[in-house]
Structure 1
Amino acid sequence: MTVRILLASRNAKKLNELRRILGPTLPDLEVVGLDDVAPYPEVPETGATFVENALLKAREGFRHTGLPTVADDSGLTVAALNGMPGIFSARWAGRHGDDEANLRLVLGQVADVPDERLGAAFACAVAYVGADGEIVTEGLMPGRLIREPRGANGFGYDPIFVPDGHDATSAELDSAAKDAISHRGQALRALAEQLAACVAG
Structure 2
Amino acid sequence: MITLVTGATRSGKSEWAELLAMRSQKNVIYIATASRYADDPEWDARLQKHRDRRPSDWQTQEVPIDLAKIISELEDHNHQNNLEAYVLVDSLGTWLANLLEQPEEIWQQIEQELLIMIQHCHLDITFVSEEVGWGIVPAYALGRQFRDRLGSLSRKIGAIADVVYLVTGGHAVNLSQIGEKLPPK
TM-score, normalisation: structure 1: 0.28
Return the index of the structure with the highest Cα Rg: 1
Q: Judging by fraction of residues, say which structure has more helix.
A: 2
TM-score, normalisation: structure 2: 0.29
- The answer to which structure, 1 or 2, has the higher relative contact order (CA under 8 A, 6+ apart) is 2
